[in-house]
Amino acid sequence: MEPMPEYVIPAPAVPCLPIRGSDARFPVHRIYCVGRNYAAHAIEMGHDPDRELPFFFLKNPDNLVLDNGDFPYPPKTGNVHHEVELVAAIGRGGSEIGVDAALDHIWGYAVGLDMTRRDLQAEMKNAGRPWEIGKAFEHSAPMSAVAPAAEIGHPAEGRVELRVNGEIRQEGDLNQLIWKVPEIVAYLSGLFELRPGDLIMTGTPAGVGPVVRGDLVECSVAGVGALATRIV
């Protein structure tokens, strides 16, 4: 066996998610996010809800917040929004995956928050520039433990809900996804080679809105899990 290389700086830890009911962990490779995948959310963001081709942006694996940890209000913004989403965790990679085979590549599911610096995202949109400063900042991806598909199946319907300080802000159903999970996996795998450990955040229902320090954000996807984070 060849010796491991000596790194000139400390090697980063492998980002990972807990697995529900297990001490094992799910290592995270990439985080893909689907934009405007609920019609009502597309409308509230000022876009046509017709079934346009899905589009994607990325968050970084080390943006994750685990174990219902706090969300530190980020700098350079005055308008941070919550977006609750079903997350698909890829267990088997591939390219050009067919829709009929797509669910075989999913290891499990989680509940995620796509926290967004909305004012910075809007500036980037208006300038025709990438969204990363609005989407891929530190702590921008609070996420629950992964529920294995072997235990819960592949949810195609179920309530998606988010509350701030006990008040419902977002509500919808997985059956309202414009592009369903198998279609998302198939289309994305034609753009990128999916790898084990990839996460796909599948879009958020209507009702996105701002949070402030002190708020408690609680969200859930029926049959998958729940997540809470305090804005600090």
Quickly list H helices, the chain. 39-44, 118-127, 132-135, 149-152, 181-191
Backbone angles phi, psi at 170, to 5 degrees: -125, 140
Distance CA 181, CA 125 (A): 26
| pLDDT at position 48 | 61
pLDDT in tens, 69-80: 999 999 999 999
Beta strands in 14-93 (DSSP E): 16-18, 25-27, 31-34, 56-59, 64-65, 80-82, 84-90
pLDDT at 200 over 60: yes
- Percent of the chain surpassing pLDDT 70: 94
pLDDT at 42 over 80: no
pLDDT in tens, 96-119: 999 999 999 999 999 999 999 999
| pLDDT at position 2 | 72
> What rounded mean pLDDT belongs to the chain?
94
Mean pLDDT for 175-195 is: 96
pLDDT at 46 over 60: no
pLDDT in tens, 117-155: 999 999 999 999 999 999 999 999 999 999 999 999 999
| pLDDT at position 39 | 72
| pLDDT at position 47 | 59
CB 180 within 8 A of CB 12: no
Distance CA 142, CA 111 (A): 9
Distance CA 200, CA 59 (A): 10
| pLDDT at position 3 | 74
